[in-house]
Amino acid sequence: MTDAPVTKPAESTIVDGVHYHQYDIVIIGAGGAGMRAAIEAGPNASTAVISKLYPTRSHTGAAQGGMAAALANVEEDNWEWHTFDTVKGGDYLVDQDAAEILAKEAIDAVIDLENMGLPFNRTPEGKIDQRRFGGHTRDHGKSPVRRACYAADRTGHMILQTLYQNCVKRGINFFNEFYVLDLIMTNVDGVDQPSGVVAYDLSSGELHVFSGKAFIFATGGFGKIYKTTSNAHTLTGDGVGIIWRKGLPLEDMEFFQFHPTGLAGLGILLTEGARGEGAILRNASGERFMERYAPTIKDLAPRDIVARCMVKEVAEGRGAGPNKDYVYLDCTHLGAEVLETKLPDITEFARTYLGVDPVTEPVPVMPTAHYAMGGIPTNVKAEVLRDNTTVVPGLYAAGECACVSVHGSNRLGTNSLLDINVFGKRAGNNAVEYVKTAEFVPLPEDPAKFVRELLATIRTSTGTERIAVLRRELQEVMDAKAQVFRTDESLREVTETIHTLRERYKNIGVQDKGRRFNTDLLEAVELGFLLDLAEVVVFSARNRKESRGGHMRDDFPLRDDVNYLQHTMAYLSGDALSADAADHISLDWKPVTITRYQPMERKY
């Protein structure tokens, strides 16, 4: 990392009302991964960061509990134990070479942030403090370990602010409230390569084309395919959807994580850091039920296990509340000082949204859709793959939109903030090396044509279907039939609903016909991405006839390493709008990289 002056790009031009820009590196997304990449790229190549939000509103800011690193500041720890926990927590679908990189480079990633000015909590000796988190253990699973570096329960917010301040310091070029809606691919000597992206300027309604040598996708997740979710309204999977529509594959899309402790009925997240500080899950009778399921680490088992146990408690009649449809997170024994100093946000959330004071009463919680383990396939250099091994020259991805795969079928808590920093940095550095020798790929004639026609068609449509209605129906059926527990029958029902919604989507209409700040228009485009991605999630889930990590099949309750110890690779083929997913989605497999840890039973 360097503070060298940034290389300024050439002036933009306007042709037929379309603005044209040229940068060496174009980063799509200004959350943690995008800005971490920009900090590496900006001082060494002309760099643009395009974001649908103002950067400090990106969803990284919602991450609460911490960032894992085996610093061993408060007790013995090492990166090998962290690697093992990552692999085991991911139910052995983790690519172990990537997990080793994640755990090894975690220490430098934390120190980088500290040097940038991030205000971590401190021990009395002045070191970065660390606390427990689910699935993180010492000595290969023998007992919990304090590995999560944290800034109260606002760690993601602090990371986002710190990265943005350092981007400003380096003179990074931001294009805020620009929606990237298309990736332009140009065939060069028989190989499709990225040559530009097309973005819609929310403030003016004008189109902008950004040409570049390298492109980094860091656009986050797609949790809004679900109704009950910790994800912000903007997490609609635009970047993943764009890659999908370009005929590039998506990996392990069936694996979606449901965080155990969302506020019941709302999905607003209460950090796992609360359980790291000693909070306890209890059923209606006050029993600490996790002692029955995970006797060694109890409430700090991996998220997929805890979420299933909570749902099972409710299903078997031990739920709390008038409808017996949630369990409790009991923080009362922690005391007001711990809650107000180390967990201030979750304390405020419970008081504000449920009228419950965690200091004196337990908080109603149930699992909420939280994190996509699957996404755009990449190698450990953050290079996007067009199949199991072939790199797309000049195209990179990092963060939740990418699948490297360090999370396998279930991400450990605190590994997401780590992922964005480790692989965001790698994406930025490798893009810089690439553009040193790469040339700009020529743009096609009228590169903005597809986006211009797409937006015009929606804006001028006289259709009667309303976006909010279709989106709600999609989210409700995904919650009901494709959440923590799944069966072939429930997934088939979701598939049929999605097909119906896709037909109705052809008849959408928007009420706002204007050009400036037309969020109605953009939500229509976003719904298209949500329908695409929900369909891939469900189609992949029907094909995986086993239970593993975040994918629990009631009709196939056991993990099947003989047939399914491999990644799902989904490809778009045929007509994407056909009635049957089988007509336009094909599936293949990709081997899991195993280096030192052979699959074993997950006991906690």
Residues recognised as catalytic: 303
33 is in an annotated binding site: yes
192 is in an annotated binding site: no
Instruction: Give the span between the Cα atoms of 469 and 162, in whole angstroms.
Output: 39
Which residues are CB-neighbours of 385 under 8 A, at least 6 positions away? Answer: 249, 377, 378, 379, 391, 392
Task: Find out whether 121 and 104 touch, Cβ atoms under 8 Å.
Answer: no
Cα–Cα–Cα angle for 542, 545, 551, nearest 5°? 75
Instruction: Give the span between the Cα atoms of 216 and 25, in whole angstroms.
Output: 8
- What are the φ and ψ backbone dihedral angles of 429, each rounded to 5 degrees? -65, -40
Instruction: Give the span between the Cα atoms of 238 and 530, in whole angstroms.
Output: 8
Helix 415-435 vs helix 155-169: crossing angle, to nearest 10: 20
77 is in an annotated binding site: no
271 is in an annotated binding site: yes
61 is in an annotated binding site: yes
Instruction: Give the span between the Cα atoms of 6 and 1, in whole angstroms.
Output: 12
60 is in an annotated binding site: yes
Instruction: Give the span between the Cα atoms of 18 and 252, in whole angstroms.
Output: 37
58 is in an annotated binding site: yes
8 is in an annotated binding site: no
Instruction: Give the span between the Cα atoms of 18 and 192, in whole angstroms.
Output: 24
DSSP string of 455-466, one letter each residue = HHHHHH----B-
Radius of gyration from C-alpha coordinates of the chain = 23
322 is in an annotated binding site: no
Q: Return the DSSP state at 61.
A: G
238 is in an annotated binding site: yes
Instruction: Give the span between the Cα atoms of 371 and 230, in whole angstroms.
Output: 9
Task: Find out whether 457 and 216 touch, Cβ atoms under 8 Å.
Answer: no
- What are the φ and ψ backbone dihedral angles of 556, each rounded to 5 degrees? -140, 75
424 is in an annotated binding site: no
The residues facing 384 across adjacent strands are 378
370 is in an annotated binding site: yes
31 is in an annotated binding site: yes
Report CA torsion sign: 462, 468, 471, 473. negative
534 is in an annotated binding site: no
558 is in an annotated binding site: no
514 is in an annotated binding site: no
461 is in an annotated binding site: no
Joined together, the tokens standing for residue 509 give 């209409």
208 is in an annotated binding site: no
65 is in an annotated binding site: yes
Joined together, the tokens standing for residue 136 give 């993180």
17 is in an annotated binding site: no
Cα–Cα–Cα angle for 253, 258, 261, nearest 5°? 165
89 is in an annotated binding site: no
Instruction: Give the span between the Cα atoms of 467 and 224, in whole angstroms.
Output: 13
416 is in an annotated binding site: yes
- Binding annotation for FAD: 29-34, 51-66, 238, 400, 416-417
- Binding annotation for substrate: 259, 271, 370, 411
- Binding annotation: 29-34, 51-66, 238, 259, 271, 370, 400, 411, 416-417
